Amino acid sequence: MSLPDTRKRATLIGTALLGTTYLLMLVGVATGQWWIFLVGIVGGYAMDALLLHRMTAFAKSLQQVRLGITPRTLLRQLLALGLLITTAEATSTGIGLILLTFLVLFGLQLLCGVVGRRLRTRRRLPIATRNIPLESLHIPDSPPMPFVREPMSRLLPLDIFLVLGAIGYVVFGALWAAVAGAVITTLVTVVALVVFLWHLRRARAIPHEQEVMDFTQEWLTSYRPEVVLYFSGSSDSAYQVDMWLETLDRMPRRSIIVLRERTIAAQLAPTRVPVLCVPSATNLMALDFDPARVALYPANTGKNIHMLRNPRLKHVFIGHGDSDKIASVNPFSKVYDEVWTAGRAGRDRYARARVGVREDEIVEVGRPQLDEIRTDTAPNSVRTVLYAPTWEGWTDDPGNTSLIEAGPTLIAKLLDGDLKVRVLYKPHPFTGIRSAAARAAHKRIVALLGGANQGTKRREDRERRLAELEKRLAAFDNDTGARDEAHYSREEGRALPETIAEMKALSTEWHRVYWDGHADDEHLVVQGPRPTLYSCFNQADLLISDISSVVADFVATEKPYAITNCEGITHAEFQDRHPTSSAAYMLSPDGEGLDAALDAVHLAEADRLASERTELRSYLLGGPESQSRFNAAVDDLYERGSLLHPLSPWGLPDTDPLAPHLS
């Protein structure tokens, strides 16, 4: 099921459950039946817990329509008063006590909200960091999670004692029940307020914004970065910078990662390179990154301008994958001093596009991420076909994706063909966010693969081990919601190589267990960060995809691949327009051409495009040892930048660039 469909289903279920709880409360008040009201109240508190911990997307939707935790709490309290008023046994004294406690409680909760907001503001540093020691900032420990993550959603339901006391008063006619509920609710709220105030007092030790920025500049001056990897993007684009982390780590130059969004900083994969997130443009532009002379940009975004304004840096667009898509020849690219491409194909692409990028501004550096990619295939008993279509894009141009027009047809032919194959389906993370047709096609493919798997024997003995590994890997997924940002930055002050090595070892073991845990003939829908795309490459004997960087990367394996032509032009015109497809087995939307691609997988002598793929690999990705070529390009540009803007006379150390900051 696609993500939009899952959210829609959760919204419908959540609306029905929440509506039922308040309807029961209303019916209880109208009929004077306390037990009906009690069922509704219990359901209401249960829903509050679900909205806080499980149904977070639905909770945000409720806030947008003014049905957040505060109005729900006030409505619940109003209905509780209604139950008292409609009960003959309730006296004015009891009703007055409950009403007075509700008013006192509202005031206490208001104070908690004000102090809590002040606490979060005080603990929110103007920067977020990783691998940068922050001991001198004297950041106190984080408050407990309930005081950090949506505190009011946890605080407001504390009226449960008072509400239950009111119901007890109605049932037994005993005023002591209402008094006990009032006392307990008031006490726990006062305790929460005291804790808020105590942590606010501790937070006064955190330096103010200018002091933090002064510290940041002092650290930069002592660290003396040479290369800056700069990234800005939406919360679902972290993969675009993650793919460059190991490349940066393997460079001999002293480097730093500069981010602009706190969400990206939280999601960034583990790295030993210092990370500095500066959300404010004013703060970023006030920082001096000298002696850095090279800035690398994986994406074209508006916030790039805040670093591009630095004249002492040589600015380079490195992108996040080469392809024949129009995005790979964005006219914005001409604002950079240089554009680095994997191979000759990127240079020719800009020449054809004529978007203002000059020939002498393009440098071929290879694709360092692919240096260790395997060219063999996992030893499965059946051949594996990986279908990895790109998403529908922001426009309705024909051929953006094969998913809508051809996806279900291709999958059906693969499942029903004479040659038995296993299908791996890995859709783009953005699939279905704009197009209902793409979502429908995705659901159809998932259903087809699920139906074909009926009777397939799973290796259930591996599931427990996989769950254990997933639990341990979750610690590296950088979900900082349970801790405040200041605490997280302080705790991640020093990069620990053994920690990163542990994460890599766990990831390797996870992938081994995952692939071994599925039968060789089991079809799989692969979504999320694991298993990785390159892991799927290692399993695949044949790739079916669209014009995207997925194809260019897969060419490194030199294994057969196929591309579906959904542009309404001839295959010859398609291959002329998209050089990445020049060594592909071309498919029509109805699946014509699929047999030839499958024959190439099953019989080596039937693979008529093997030599073309070898040539294409060199053309698209350049020669071997891309990391060395990338490092050399950085060194060359750094030296040229240093000639234009000479470094300070006291020079740079010759040791490991990160060694002093890893001790």
Phi, psi of 236 (to 5 degrees): -100, 15
Q: What value does the mean pLDDT take over residues 466-484? A: 66
Per-residue model confidence (pLDDT) at position 653: 42
Which pLDDT band, with edges at 50, 70 and 90, does 482 fall under? very low
> What percentage of the chain reaches a pLDDT higher than 90?
55
Q: Which of 407-421, 428-442, 452-466 shows the lowest mean pLDDT across its residues? A: 452-466
Segment 69-78, tens digit of pLDDT: 999 999 999 9
Per-residue model confidence (pLDDT) at position 660: 44
Q: What class has domain 224-367?
A: alpha beta
Question: What predicted TM-score, i.e. pTM, was given to this entire model?
Answer: 0.82
Segment 585-598, tens digit of pLDDT: 999 999 999 999 99
Per-residue model confidence (pLDDT) at position 494: 66
Q: What value does the mean pLDDT take over residues 326-346? A: 87
Distance CA 417, CA 33 (A): 64
Per-residue model confidence (pLDDT) at position 456: 61
Segment 527-575, tens digit of pLDDT: 887 888 999 999 999 999 998 889 989 999 999 999 999 988 999 999 9
Same fold, 224-367 and 384-457+522-548+557-602: yes
Q: What value does the mean pLDDT take over residues 602-618? A: 90
CA angle 262-209-219, nearest 5°?
80
Per-residue model confidence (pLDDT) at position 257: 98
Examine the pLDDT at 1 and tell me if it is beyond 60.
no
Per-residue model confidence (pLDDT) at position 129: 94
Q: Select, from the ranges 402-406, 477-481, 487-491, 659-663, the one with the highest average predicted confidence (pLDDT).
A: 402-406
Distance CA 295, CA 634 (A): 10
Alpha helices by DSSP H, listed for 224-334, are 239-242, 245-249, 262-267, 281-286, 305-308
Q: What value does the mean pLDDT take over residues 239-253? A: 93
Per-residue model confidence (pLDDT) at position 146: 79
CATH number of the domain at 384-457+522-548+557-602, please? 3.40.50.2000
> What percentage of the chain reaches a pLDDT higher than 70?
93
Residue in 270, 244, 275, 428 with CA at minimum distance from that of residue 340: 244
Query: Residue ranges per domain, the chain?
Result: 1-88, 224-367, 384-457+522-548+557-602
Q: What value does the mean pLDDT take over residues 484-506? A: 76
115, 200 contact by CB (below 8 A): yes
Segment 192-244, tens digit of pLDDT: 999 999 999 999 999 999 999 999 999 999 999 999 999 999 887 888 999 99
